[in-house]
Structure 1
């Protein structure tokens, strides 16, 4: 008889969230620990394993767990390692899948967080029934998970699909955390929207609600709230962001011909403010053979659960010992 549950773990720079998930995508038990509180990797794995064991015990023990899936920054599906993640406390190569498997005595698979989101959409969300689609995560950065013919694209080394680090401004582009200049995520992430707001406010004289906020404290949420109140400058910021994102999507379509591009992450809370200009500029920039063929969709996964669900979907596929 097939084991009834998988575990999903989402590792972020601040928190690590995990849950026990059934085949229908219901989270049966969940918990979290502070990632940043554990500066040494063995200490972290010990704390995480103990916390995960507590939720395993709540569903009848390890005999009921098919596998564990982990989504984490810079995680490599092929090697089972987190590799040189800039926003995690531990540096270098971290063989996390093996470390967790040794502690919990259950098979573990790991992938990067955007790939986990794509697996989650294919299993539980907006991409159910699709074989070709792209998930774009719009948060602090821009992540992407690319699925072609029902298979997640990993490339030869496990790191394929870094669409957020395609270059959209080669001359005088913004400095990215990756060390290069002009990456898509420096303009179209939540952080990028805030950077655009600061640039517009510093270089222009337009009246704006945003001028009531200390310029260094402005967030994408502030820009969205101002735009929703009709602020012209804030609306222009979203138009600019949507144009860059839509033009990039038109390029992405040309190489994988997806049925849909699915948007997920904090910036999508802006709703039509971001969705409408992205859709318009994507279609305007599209190669004619692709025009009006590609759906632009919002994620159907609850934001609070999506990371755990996406990672847990990987847990169903992991091979037994």
Structure 2
């Protein structure tokens, strides 16, 4: 790659349980293309998801790629994929996309990337995402504690945060019960982490019907793409 770092374009990819989004960013993380989206394949097996990414990518010009994945990612290797498909386990997504796109690729947990787009870099900052599942990321003075995966920890009544607050439960139990549970979850997480600020993202934030604590705020979903630039900084 002969370009200077000051002119490199980053293709940010956000793999979600319901949609796959892409956007091209400049070196400061500002968007230089419109957001493009396609529905996540069902079943969401690696080949089908990658084919969807390739379809979105062929419309863009870029020099490197950042990918947010809904699960634990270690050195580009997928360790969990609860809301996609078991075929992802131990899949080397970074290497596969690097070969197919012929560009360098970095992969990280999707909530971690959204957090990178949101945080101030001061104190203890917790991010949760409310979508198909329940994502989470923790930062201490701007440094990421990787692969927190709080969603799969026990929460209440023998169920995890994701089992109590995922989209399937929202659809089944209704908005009122979901909101009551979310209020309890925010209180639990506050006692657990004693965070300075809580950022709440994801598509289901539109269903929040109560006043958040003063140290909590809703963040836009676009940060799941914009935060991708931090993987290269």
Range of TM-score over shorter length: 0.7 to 0.9
Q: For 1:26 and 1:17, how far apart are their aligned partners in 2? A: 16
Quote the residue 1:207 is aligned against. Answer: none
Structure 1 position 297 matched with structure 2 position 217: yes
Aligned in 2, Cα 1:270/1:118: closer, same or farther, shift over 3 Å?
same
Please say if 1:8 is aligned against 2:5.
Answer: no
In structure 1, the partner of 2:203 is: 266
Q: Is residue 96 from structure 1 mapped to residue 100 from structure 2 by the alignment?
A: no
Deviation at 1:15, TM superposition (A): 3.0
- TM-score normalised over the length of structure 2: 0.81
Q: Quick one: structure 1 residues 131 and 109, their matched pair in 2 at CA, closer, same or farther if it must change by over 3 Å?
A: farther
Q: Superposition pairs for residues 139-218 of structure 1, below 5 Å?
A: 139-154=131-146, 159=147, 161-169=148-156, 173=157, 181-197=158-174
In structure 2, the partner of 1:247 is 187
Shift of 1:20: 0.4
3-state SS of paired residue (1:54): coil
- Distance (Å, rounded) in 2 between the aligned partners of 1:193 and 1:45: 29
Return the alpha-carbon distance in structure 2 between the equivalents of residues 146 and 85 of structure 1: 19
Judging by fraction of residues, say which structure has more helix.
Answer: 1
Where does the alignment leave 5 or more consecutive residues of structure 1 unmatched? 57-61, 122-126, 174-180, 198-222, 224-233, 280-293
Residue by residue over 1:6-61, the C-alpha shift from the partner in whole angstroms, topping out at 9 and shown as x without a partner, is 121011234321110124443222434444168764465355335314301xxxxx
CA–CA separation in structure 2 for the residues paired with 1:21 and 1:48: 16
Q: Which whole-Å deviations, capped at 9, do the CAs of 1:277-321 have from their partners, x for residues lacking one?
A: xx3xxxxxxxxxxxxxx821221x3x3x2322233432x33xxxx
**Equivalent-residue separation in structure 2 for 1:82 and 1:191 (angstroms):** 24
SS at match of 2:115: helix
Paired position in structure 1 for 2:226 = 309
How many angstroms apart in 1 are the aligned matches of 2:153 and 2:76? 25
Aligned residues: 227
Distance 2:195 2:16 in 1: 28
Q: CA deviation at 1:99?
A: 1.0
**Residue pair 2:44, 2:85 contacting (<8 A) in 1 also:** yes
Contact 1:70 1:312 in 2 (8 A): no
Superimposed CA distance per residue, residues 146-180 of structure 1 (whole angstroms, 9 cap, x where no aligned partner): 111321112xxxx3x122222232xxx3xxxxxxx
Greater share of strand? 2
Q: How does 1:277-288 map to 2 (within 5 A)?
A: 279=213
Report the Cα distance in structure 1 between the residues aligned to 2:125 and 2:109, rounded to whole angstroms. Answer: 17
| SS in structure 2 of the partner of residue 68 of structure 1 | strand
Residues 177-235 of structure 1: per-residue CA shift (max 9 Å, x gap)? xxxx41122223444344444xxxxxxxxxxxxxxxxxxxxxxxxx3xxxxxxxxxx4x
Distance (whole Å) between structure 1 residues aligned to residue 66 and residue 37 of structure 2: 15
Is residue 49 of structure 1 aligned with residue 30 of structure 2? Answer: no
CA distance in 1, matches of 2:82, 2:166: 17
User: What residue number does 2:211 align with?
Assistant: 275
